[in-house]
Each structure stands twice: as structure tokens, then as C-alpha cells.
């Protein structure tokens, strides 16, 4: 995604760990090597065991807010309901190395 996008442009964060799990689920390495569909090697339970799950990123790239510095919803202002929590990408993680930012069209 272009780093000069206009303010307010929708962007989505996807962790590299999730992408790697997804590629394993799709048997990407085998397809990338030119293995034909009828020659794919996988266990009978592959597609149930290897399902990557929803894209949450919390375990992969979101900072651990142990000191509780992030903003929490008070339920007194619209848009900051009680369930609302401000989250940030951990400063130790790097774009295109630990996570990708993709635009609405790719999403």
C-alpha cells in the first residue's frame, strides 16, 4: 500500500504469521513448485487442522499493553463504547517483514 495515502483511507493489517499459516493451508508451496492438483500430498485432516482461523493479529503483531496505557472505551461517548480499546502495532515489528498493510481493494 502506498505510504502517501490520503488521511481516512481504509487500510488493513495482516500479520506475516497469519499469511504463512494461510499459505500452508492452501498447499501453496506444492502449487508453486508446479505440483498438479491430482499429485498434491496432504493428510486427510489437513484442511480441518490447518485452517488459519480469523485474521485477528493480536497474538502476532499487536503490542502487549501491560501497563494499560492504551485508550479504553468509557461508554460515555459515541464511538468509544465499553468494548472499545485502542490497539497499536508493537514498535519492534516492521512493515513488510512482520505484517502487511493492504488497501480496501485487496481486502
Identify the pLDDT of residue 80: 62
| Nearest by Cα to 106 from 61, 55, 59, 57 | 55
pTM listed for this prediction:
0.68
pLDDT in tens, 34-82: 999 899 999 999 999 999 988 877 778 877 766 666 666 666 767 666 6
What residues contact 53, with CB distance under 8 A and at least 6 apart? 21
- Checking if the pLDDT of 3 tops 60, the result is no
Identify the pLDDT of residue 86: 64
* 11 within 8 A of 101, measured Cβ to Cβ: yes
Integer angstrom CA distances of residue 3 from 54, 71, 83, 103, 105: 26, 25, 30, 11, 16
Residue indicated by cell numbers 498438479: 36
Q: Cα separation of 93 and 31, whole Å? A: 30
pLDDT in tens, 13-39: 899 999 999 999 999 999 999 999 899
User: What is the arithmetic mean of pLDDT over 88-95?
Assistant: 82
Integer angstrom CA distances of residue 96 from 15, 65, 84: 9, 23, 27
Run of H or E residues at 80: none
Amino acid at each position: 500500500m502506498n505510504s502517501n495515502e490520503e488521511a481516512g483511507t481504509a487500510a488493513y493489517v495482516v500479520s506475516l504469521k497469519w499469511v504463512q499459516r494461510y499459505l500452508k493451508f492452501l498447499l501453496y508451496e506444492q502449487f508453486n513448485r508446479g505440483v498438479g492438483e491430482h499429485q498434491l500430498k496432504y493428510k486427510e485432516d489437513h484442511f480441518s487442522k490447518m485452517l488459519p482461523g480469523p485474521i485477528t493479529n493480536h497474538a502476532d503483531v499487536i503490542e502487549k499493553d501491560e501497563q494499560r496505557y492504551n485508550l479504553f472505551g468509557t461508554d460515555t461517548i459515541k464511538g468509544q463504547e465499553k468494548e472499545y480499546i485502542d490497539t497499536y502495532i508493537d514498535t519492534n515489528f516492521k512493515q513488510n517483514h512482520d505484517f502487511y498493510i493492504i488497501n480496501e481493494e485487496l481486502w
